Structure 1
Amino acid sequence: MGASERIGRDLELVGSGEFAAACRRSPRDFTRRRKMPHDALVESIVCRKGRTLRIELRELGRELGMESPISAPGYLKQREKLDPAALAILMRHHAAQVYADGDAPTFRGMHVLAIDGSTANVPTNAATVAAYGGSSAKHGKVQAFCGLSAVYDVIARQVVGLEVTTGGFDERSFVAGHVERAREAMGGERFVVVMDRGYPSFPLPAWLSDNGVPYLMRSQQNFMNAEFARAAEAGGDAVCEFGFGYQRIASLRKREPEAFEALLSHEPIGVRCVLVDIGGETPEKLVTNLPASFTPDDLRELYHLRWGVETCFQMLKDRLQLENLTGTKPVLIEQDIYATAYLLNVAFDIANEADAAALAAGAPERYRHQMTVNRSFALGVVKDELLGMLLAGDDEREVIMAGIVEELRRCLAPVRRERSYPRDGVEGRYANRYSNTHKRVF
């Protein structure tokens, strides 16, 4: 199966009665076929290009063959009836199809899922500040911002789960939900969860071990000092018994009393502590429950793959302009965010197909570096062509898709490994209003 078939199955889902029910914020919503029913509404949100609403509706009306386009107030009124969770369902549906069709590559037989969080600025008003919170800027005014917690397959390049939450959220609290979403998407296929140093804590490794979740986490320098001292004595790799004595977890007693009581009676767990060199002044501490068959070099590469989730957030916020929102109400904001994540899944699915086509044609062999489809170009092309693909029949969509894949496989970019740049901040630099390195892709 290919991306074209998966888009067709996405459209079948959108047109189903089950999806229509998921769209309703109240029982009476979308019960009649009006000028903008739920399926056309969803397609319009996914295909929007961040222009003024009247221009967007003008193009949509022309593509749908409307005698007169829906008015902007009427469109927004319909949008307020749509539950953002429906667009999250659509996003996860596309990712799940990639796994069901067997088109998701793995690392040593395991899907690599990176969990991380970010934030996004949203319009500041009473509703958004109440829903997401805000922070005071230097001028004293409040800026509303929401939190984004994602689980992202860094090899298949699919957003498996995404949660929109308050700005100052606890990233660890979403791990259990992300694991559940991953299991729903992948069925019984094996995966490993990779997290950065903001995640290690006393309750989290215990929960992951109790639930049989393979994981790899980068530890803070002051975490599990005794265990990593034993690992250093053993040459940098040792399986240790990680206990939860009172003194060790005392800091949780007031902050997380339920977790404190649960850990106090918890049996010690086995953890593997590994010291690896990833280019810093001192070796980095990695905590995992992966077996010894995963060598320290494997773990180093596995942790390096985690950077893909950072690139995912960059693509969402920079290339796809996630913060360029339709409206100012939380319901509209969340619709736009989930629709942007769905578009990212579709664009990367098509780019993966173009990668395979380029490899089959032998194109990468002509280059010095490993080559891959330029993801920014892929996002721009898919954004331009998506509405036509959604409105086309199956045969016509196949033709459109073949043309896109052929175009993408000729637009390759080098993958330069082991590159790093100093984090010297912005001090002493002039900020250009129009950047040369972060151009819009649509």
Structure 2
Amino acid sequence: MKHSQKRTFMDIEKMSSDEFKAFCRSGNKNHFTRIRKMPLQDLLFTMINRKGLTLALELRNYMKLAHPGVSISKPGYLKQRMKLNPDAFLELYKYHNRNFYTDSTFSTYKDHLILAADGSDINIPTTAKTLKLYGSASRKNTKPQAQIGLGCIYDVMNRMILESDYNKVKFDEMRLAEKQMERIPETIGSIPYIIIMDRGYPSTPAFIHMMDKDIKFIVRLKSSDYKKEQSSLAENDQIVKIKLDKSRIRHYEGTPDGERMKELGEISLRMVKILLENGSLEVLATNLSQTEFQTEEIKELYHMRWGIETA
């Protein structure tokens, strides 16, 4: 990426600041004030640059490179690590991303960032504590396996993870994505973006929330979503009116979403049929205008979503 060296030096400068050092102290204002074998900056570097080796090898390789002739024991290193406020990495992550989007060299598609939302399940060590906090992915009456649910929003053209949250193994991906979209302007400012989502995300309230906030989206529909409207499509790309009748409001009765659906009465979605590489036909729902984005461009944009799967 252009100017990546400049941003790396900015990150290092941030790590060296008194303000950041104070932020990193986990409960004791005297932490990281004395000169030790593993000062704060080195501690952060060792954690960011892990290669998947044993801790002893990681420490030996790092010290050989950064401080030749100096060694640190595992207990000494772990003692230093326990002093670190783990939110230090979140602070650095946000700082780095903000700097990236203040630089005009990032890539866009028709002046829009192309963002993708997705979730994934990740195995974590199974203990009584992790099972209680996050839950098990195993079937009933089988050996439990603790898992977390990870939800991310990813800039597919610039290969940057903008938002990432861990949750219980079973979580509402769309609800999390909405919270993450609320935070995105803190990183990218007023740069317009298009959010792309796979099946499992969409719901009528979710579409309404995004349209109310003028968020542009492309979402792959399940065959059961708006089944009547999908089956009646006369063209491969057309605007469809979705009647918000009692059957669609029933599930949200008595909630702000239900009241908003009653108030609107109907919504309009653009439905685009696309032929996937495996030969199956899928329908995408979007609020992108037909004049600004052609049918083939909608297909191209949705295909970009694959970047979050490999990220």
Q: TM-score w.r.t. structure 2 length?
A: 0.88
Shift of 1:125: 1.5
Letter in 1 for 2:81: R
Which residue does 2:109 correspond to in 1? Answer: 107
Distance, in Å, in 1 between the alignment partners of 2:266 and 2:70 is 68
2:244 alignment partner in structure 1: 244
In structure 2, what is the Cα distance between the partners aligned to 1:177 and 1:13? Answer: 27
Residue of 190, 194, 198 corresponding to 1:192: 194
Query: Which one has a larger percent helix, Structure 1 or Structure 2?
Result: 1
Q: Deviation per CA, 1:239-267, whole angstroms, max 9, x where unpaired?
A: 2333433311323459xx55445544455
Aligned pairs (5 A) from 1:84-163: 84-136=86-138, 140-163=142-165
* Contact 1:137/1:143 (<8 A) preserved: no
Residues 265 and 22 (structure 1), Cα distance of their counterparts in 2 relative to 1, 3 Å cut: farther
Q: Which runs of 5+ in 1 are unaligned?
A: 313-442
Counterpart code for 2:170: G
Q: Which sits farther off after the overlay, 20-29 or 101-110?
A: 20-29
1:116 Cα deviation (Å)? 0.4
Q: How does 1:236-385 map to 2 (within 5 A)?
A: 236-253=236-253, 257=255, 259-266=257-264, 268-279=266-277, 282-292=280-290, 293-312=292-311
Query: Measured at CA, do residues 124 and 200 of structure 1 come closer, stay the same or move farther in structure 2, by a change above 3 Å?
Result: same
Q: Structure 1 pair 191/132, CA: closer, same or farther in 2 (3 Å)?
A: same
- How large is the RMSD of aligned CA atoms in angstroms? 2.6
1:211 corresponds to which residue? 213
* In 2, Cα distance between equivalents of 1:214 and 1:95: 22
Q: Secondary structure at the match of 2:299?
A: helix
> What secondary structure does 2:72 align onto?
coil
**Count of paired positions:** 308
Partners of 1:207 and 1:138 in 2: CA distance: 36
CA distance in 2, matches of 1:258, 1:296: 34
* C-alpha distance 79-248 of structure 1, shift in aligned 2 (>3 A): same
Rounded to whole Å, the distance in 1 between the matches of 2:52 and 2:280 is 45
How far apart, CA to CA, are the structure 2 residues paired with 1:77 and 1:243?
Answer: 61
Q: Per the alignment, in what secondary structure is the counterpart of residue 270 of structure 1? A: strand
Runs of at least 5 residues in structure 2 that lack an aligned partner in the other structure: none
CA drift of 1:238 comes to 2.0
Q: TM-score, with normalisation over the residues of structure 1?
A: 0.64
Query: Structure with the greater relative contact order (CA < 8 A, sep ≥ 6): 1 or 2?
Result: 1
Query: What percentage of residue pairs aligned between the two structures are identical?
Result: 33
CA distance in 1, matches of 2:287, 2:25: 42
SS of equivalent to 2:146: strand
